[in-house]
Structure 1
């Protein structure tokens, strides 16, 4: 039986499964178009949290570790023999916690992890966005740039999505980082050169989370560079999944 935590795009013959962990307020719809662009060798499975998409009638979760435990169980039951994690912003923290749980429970681990658009979890921004009055909350969402203006201006639609958005930001605000042993999977970091929320100094801590740390890959764009410069992001991601890396382009700058 398919888990409600996973939305998979079946791709017979694919050798690798990519689990995508969405950002705060995100859902599978933002990542499903990646399936075709990742090629025939990669099957996409997007993490589906309660309170949005097909699970919009379920109450959203506000506890990171509760979500991570259930996602780890779903991925373990999914039975992929070769897989990778890609998490953007909140999704990067959630993916790290899932990998830690898999390690502690001696479950199969991803071959590769990509933490995208996210400070090292030991240095997260503690701004209590979830407690802001609605007008101020909408202004902050507008500043972050991940929510289309026509959605922000649609009162009825925002009333539907606000509970999940607030829950996600509460999940980040209440998250307590605990130092742990370096994980076995290779770990790479993606970041936007114009992302005002994530600086180079905010990323250095990621190196201690993996015994096989790779590189920090810089892309043109702000916090949502993964959509703004999707071609470059997917080219680099595909190269990592295949065990190769494409040559840097003007929109993809890679540094150690």
Structure 2
């Protein structure tokens, strides 16, 4: 069983005295909690937190977890305090898959479920058909990452940095590429899919496929941009999430 250091798994970027909900954000493959550090600037009613995964940032010395089941089990323990109050999940790319499978694990354990699941940059899990990249030779993997905008070409000037990052990136990619969807009843959690119109890694049918995974309704909202469209639409996305969650709280 993976050893969990509970205090290390979550960081919040601003205090909110009486939040309507805590938005727990899951980063893309190779990403860290810092990609969400400015989200709190766009909301007055949400506490924005982000998952700190092993193998990056303050947890750089810890090996990244390459198995989705192990990662989800660790998150159940590491995020335990979150589940006692209203919360929601946002996940981008790999983070979307992790958040979805965490929801299913929480249901299996009889723990409180999120008030909403917001997913971006990922086809519905039952429709995933991904190229295998995590086990490519070093230079081929680097070229592939640059090709999908996962690495800035300027990083080629820093080979030592690449070699430091690659084990974590490989592990994150393995989480998704080794995934096999197991059919279960739909989640009683509303799902909102966010999609970049220019994202070649996500299809229209793959986005709409999330509807089969929820019994509480699914919406798809398109944005201008590619796989990392969130970077240029941050304020709109946070406002959209806030509106959904505040409305959900009012209905309850």
Does TM, scored on the shorter chain, surpass 0.5?
Answer: yes
Partner of 1:100: helix, strand, or coil? helix
Partner of 1:18: helix, strand, or coil? strand
Q: CA deviation at 1:152?
A: 4.3
Q: When the two structures are aligned, how many residues end up with a matched partner?
A: 243
Aligned match for 1:15, one of 20, 24, 34:
20
Aligned match for 2:88, one of 80, 84, 87:
84
* Contiguous gaps of at least 5 residues in structure 2: none
Matches of 2:232 and 2:14, distance apart in 1: 26
Instruction: Tell me whether 70-79 or 209-218 shows the greater mean CA deviation.
Output: 70-79
Q: CA deviation at 1:207?
A: 0.7
Partner of 1:57: helix, strand, or coil? coil
Q: CA deviation at 1:205?
A: 2.0
Contact 2:92/2:122 (8 A) holds in 1? yes
Aligned match for 2:77, one of 69, 73, 80:
73
CA deviation map 1:155-206 (0-9, x unaligned): 1211111110011111111111101111111111010101111110122321
Asked whether 1:148 is paired with 2:143, we answer no
Matches of 2:173 and 2:118, distance apart in 1: 21
Partner of 1:203: helix, strand, or coil? helix
Determine which structure has greater relative contact order: mean sequence separation of CA pairs < 8 Å that are 6+ residues apart, divided by chain length: 2
- The structure in which a higher percent of residues are strand is 1
Contact 1:17/1:80 (8 A) holds in 2? no
Aligned pairs (5 A) from 1:16-165: 16-37=21-42, 39-165=43-169
Aligned match for 1:215, one of 204, 212, 219:
219
Q: Which runs of 4+ in 1 moved over 3 A?
A: none
Scaled by the length of structure 2, what TM-score is found? 0.91
Matches of 2:238 and 2:81, distance apart in 1: 27
Matches of 2:217 and 2:83, distance apart in 1: 26
Partner of 1:129: helix, strand, or coil? coil
Matches of 1:238 and 1:34, distance apart in 2: 11
Contact 2:72/2:102 (8 A) holds in 1? yes
Matches of 1:170 and 1:107, distance apart in 2: 27
Match of 1:252 in 2: none
Match of 1:167 in 2: 171
Matches of 2:117 and 2:156, distance apart in 1: 32
Partner of 1:184: helix, strand, or coil? coil
